Structure formats: C-alpha cells, structure tokens
C-alpha cells in the first residue's frame, strides 16, 4: 500500500489530490490552512494521516488544536513524533483513542542512522505509548546504514523503517515485502516531503516489475 505525502500546496489543490487518491498524508506543518479548512480536508472520503511536525513559528498549543481538529473531523491516523513532550504525545493519544483513531509514533533523524542498540531503544519507547504503528526514518550516509533499518523488521511488527536520502531509497521499495504496513511516496518527482522520497508513479512501476519477475520465476 502506498501513502502519498503532500505539503507546500494550497487548500484547493489538497482537496483535488485527496479526491483522486486512496491514502494521503497531510503535512500540516508544510501547509497554510485554517481550522475550518482542516475540518474540510479531513472530512473527505479518503484514508488520511494527520502530521504536524514542530516548526519555529508555530506553538505546541496551535499544533494541538490542528491535530485535534483533524482527529475530530475523520483522520484515520495521527502521526506524533517521539521528540515531542510526554504531555503533548499523551494528550494527542488520549484524544485520538477516544475517537477510535490509530496512532503512529515516529522517530526522525535527518543527520545519520544511529546504532542498532539506539534504534531498538527508540522503537521500544515508541511502542510504550501503545502505538498502532511505529515509524523510523533516518538519513542514510552509507549503503551499509540500510542494514540497521532493515534489521528492525526482524524484531518488530507494524513498523515502517525508512532510509532518507539517495542511498536510502531501497528501503522505500523493500519495506513492504519485509512487513511494513505501507510506504510513503511523493505525488510527483519534484514534490517530495522528505529527502529521497520516490514519486508514486515510479514506485508503482517498480512494484509491477517486481511482481512480473516473481510470476516468471514461479
């Protein structure tokens, strides 16, 4: 399953995309939308992830209001970064669970891929919040970094382990076959919301070719 991640677009453009996709992540930290527009966006007939990362000019209270509005309006998942305060995480989880929404607890490292021990500790901490899915996204500086990200699939279920950057692209392709519930894609080549993100059309073509090869070898 592919989730199209979108940001840096207008409200109207977001509506158009949502109405033509089955699964979309809305990066609210990259969008300039009002509370009423958030209500409209998350009321659409589409599986939606509400994500609002920390930004310098937005307070935690503002982010809480936006995420709670998304939850109330129909978000299927809400993604909360583990680097938020315990109070922030717990408040979002409490609100989401009361609405029967699913929780993604995520960890991001835009500089490197930490050690195996560090990653395991992070994942355990994420699961301690009763996450439905844990997402780990780390920048890959060397191809060997991918091994540590792949290794997480051996120990955990309902985990998405992603390598960011050009050298981490393989994780976005292999993750589904290793057990990830879904993978992220950009809508187009120039619209990525994370380093190394692959556009949806390219991913579909890759998966189709992999399926063709599998069928030929069966």
125 against 188, higher pLDDT: 125
10 Å Cβ neighbour count for 189? Answer: 11
Does residue 24 belong to any structural domain of this protein? yes
Look at residue 218 in the predicted model and tell me its pLDDT: 64
Concerning whether 95 is annotated as a catalytic residue, the answer is no
Does residue 58 belong to any structural domain of this protein? yes
Give the model's confidence band at 29: pLDDT under 50 very low, under 70 low, under 90 confident, else very high.
very high
Q: Tokens 């879904």 identify what position? A: 182
Number of domains comprising the chain: 1
Query: Which residue blocks in 114-194 are alpha helix, DSSP H?
Result: 116-127, 145-155, 169-178
10 Å Cβ neighbour count for 217? Answer: 6
Contacts of 127 (CB under 8 A, 6+ apart): 105, 134, 156
Look at residue 78 in the predicted model and tell me its pLDDT: 98
Overall average pLDDT of the 86-100 stretch: 97
Does residue 60 belong to any structural domain of this protein? yes
Does residue 151 belong to any structural domain of this protein? no
Please write down the long-range contacts of 146-154, taking CB distance under 8 Å and 24 or more positions apart: 146/113, 146/170, 146/171, 148/113, 148/114, 148/115, 148/116, 148/119, 149/113, 149/119, 150/174, 150/178, 151/116, 152/119, 152/120, 152/123, 153/178, 153/179, 153/180
**Among 68, 135, 169, 200, the one annotated catalytic:** 135
Does residue 85 belong to any structural domain of this protein? yes
Give the model's confidence band at 216: pLDDT under 50 very low, under 70 low, under 90 confident, else very high.
confident
Does residue 54 belong to any structural domain of this protein? yes
Overall average pLDDT of the 195-206 stretch: 95
pLDDT digits (tens, 9 = 90+) for 103-150: 999 999 999 999 999 999 999 999 999 999 999 999 999 999 999 999
Overall average pLDDT of the 192-197 stretch: 93
Does residue 139 belong to any structural domain of this protein? no
10 Å Cβ neighbour count for 211? Answer: 10
Query: Which domain range does residue 80 map to?
Result: 2-105+168-209
pLDDT digits (tens, 9 = 90+) for 31-61: 999 999 999 999 999 999 999 999 988 999 9
**pLDDT above 90 (res 213):** no
The residue length of the chain stands at: 218
Look at residue 211 in the predicted model and tell me its pLDDT: 84
Concerning whether 108 is annotated as a catalytic residue, the answer is yes
Instruction: Specify the CATH number for the domain of residue 177.
Output: 3.20.20.70
The pTM of the whole model exceeds 0.85? yes
| pLDDT above 90 as % of the chain | 92
CA 135/CA 106 separation, integer angstroms: 4
Does residue 19 belong to any structural domain of this protein? yes
Look at residue 189 in the predicted model and tell me its pLDDT: 86
């Amino acid at each position: 399953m592919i989730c199209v991640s979108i940001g840096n677009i207008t409200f109207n453009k977001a509506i158009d995309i949502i109405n033509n996709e089955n699964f979309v992540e809305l990066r609210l930290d990259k969008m300039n939308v009002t509370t009423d527009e958030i209500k409209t966006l998350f009321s659409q007939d589409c599986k939606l992830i509400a994500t609002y990362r920390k930004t310098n000019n937005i307070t935690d209270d503002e982010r809480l209001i936006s995420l709670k509005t998304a939850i109330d309006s129909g978000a299927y998942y809400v993604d909360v970064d583990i680097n938020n305060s315990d109070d922030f995480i717990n408040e979002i989880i409490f609100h989401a669970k009361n609405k029967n929404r699913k929780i993604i607890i995520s960890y991001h490292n835009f500089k490197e891929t930490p050690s195996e021990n560090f990653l395991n500790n992070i994942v355990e901490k994420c699961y301690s919040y009763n996450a439905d899915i844990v997402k780990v996204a780390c920048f890959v500086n060397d191809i060997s970094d991918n091994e540590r990200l792949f290794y997480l699939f051996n120990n955990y279920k309902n985990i998405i382990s992603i390598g960011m950057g050009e050298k981490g692209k393989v994780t976005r392709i292999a993750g589904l076959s290793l057990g990830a519930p879904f993978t992220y894609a950009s809508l187009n080549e120039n619209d990525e919301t994370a380093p190394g993100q692959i556009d949806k059309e390219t991913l579909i073509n890759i998966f189709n070719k992999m399926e063709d090869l599998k069928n030929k070898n069966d």
